[in-house]
């Protein structure tokens, strides 16, 4: 059976790699992002997700889907004491509100089908990474949504899980953590495997959760972080 999976932030990074993996498995990836890549392997809709009305319009055009991957992510960095409140609201809106809006648009069809998959892409930073207050708050909220939704939807054939990556080689990561920088060196110190992760490694975990074999896994936070979460717990 060919399934339709909606992926936000699908133009690059984890979302783009995941879209290819979905397509290679014989399913249809439906991408949402501000700019369409030239070689997307499925259906793509350009939208600025910060525009709530435009997002609603595009979601109406997408139609029924079998699953949602809330992958889009936005971050602005600052230490506590220097957090701009507009940046905080911007981060919460772009991560949390978008995930809620997209999921709620997709939910009726999944409920009617008695089958569905929701995967929230969150982050290792929720366990305590300096200068990431706004981003960590947004991603922690998404982990909380995973738990709440999993309980609410368990009897509907719909699973809900988070995948929480550590540092992954993406454009957003490199924008805040240049190669060879002191910030990168600090990440290496915190990641036991001693390297930055690859988008394909995160996409593999998401693909399992989208599959038939993932049907008994729900309400979980799957950490794809090179042992970073283990290192965080040991530091405490």
Question: How far, in Å, CA of 212 to CA of 146, rounded?
Answer: 19
Strand pairing report for 4-8 and 67-70? parallel
Q: Encoding tokens for residue 87?
A: 């940046």
One of 5, 135, 149, 187 is an active-site residue; which one?
135
Q: Find, among 112, 227, 221, 115, the residue nearest to 167 by Cα.
A: 227
Which residue bears the tokens 């809709």? 45
Per the annotation, the verdict on 135 as an active-site residue is: yes
Which 3 state secondary structure label does DSSP give 122? Answer: coil
Q: Which of 123, 91, 133, 144 is nearest to 152 (CA)?
A: 144
Token pair 């089908």: residue: 113
Among candidate residues 102, 132, 136, 105, the one with its CA nearest the CA of residue 119: 102
The angle at the Cα of 149, spanning 146 to 155, to the nearest 5 degrees, equals 130
Q: Which residues, other chains included, contact 167 with Cβ-Cβ below 8 Å and sequence gap of 6+?
A: 124, 173, 177, 187, 191, 196, 197, 225, 226, 228
Tell me the C-alpha distance between 10 and 35, whole Å.
9
- For 208, phi then psi, to 5°, come to -60, -45
Residues involved in catalysis: 135
């Amino acid at each position: 059976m060919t399934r339709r999976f909606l992926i936000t932030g699908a133009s690059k990074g984890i979302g783009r790699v995941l879209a290819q993996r979905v397509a290679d498995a014989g399913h249809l990836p439906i991408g949402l992002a501000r700019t369409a890549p030239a070689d997307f392997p499925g259906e793509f809709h350009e939208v600025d997700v910060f525009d709530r009305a435009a997002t609603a319009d595009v979601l109406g055009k997408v139609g029924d889907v079998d699953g949602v991957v809330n992958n889009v992510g936005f971050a602005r960095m600052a230490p506590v004491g220097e957090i701009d409140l507009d940046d905080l609201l911007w981060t919460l809106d772009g991560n949390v509100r978008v995930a809620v809006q997209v999921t709620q648009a997709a939910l009726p069809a999944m409920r009617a089908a008695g089958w569905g998959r929701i995967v929230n892409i969150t982050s290792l930073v929720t366990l305590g990474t300096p200068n990431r207050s706004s981003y960590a708050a947004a991603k922690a909220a998404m982990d909380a949504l995973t738990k709440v939704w999993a309980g609410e939807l368990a009897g509907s054939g719909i699973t809900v899980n988070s995948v929480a990556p550590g540092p992954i080689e993406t454009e957003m990561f490199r924008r805040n953590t240049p190669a060879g920088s002191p910030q990168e060196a600090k990440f290496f110190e915190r990641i036991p495997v001693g390297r930055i992760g690859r988008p394909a490694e995160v996409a593999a975990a998401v693909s399992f959760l989208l599959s038939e074999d993932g049907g008994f896994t729900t309400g979980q936070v799957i950490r794809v972080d090179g042992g970073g979460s283990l290192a965080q717990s040991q530091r405490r």
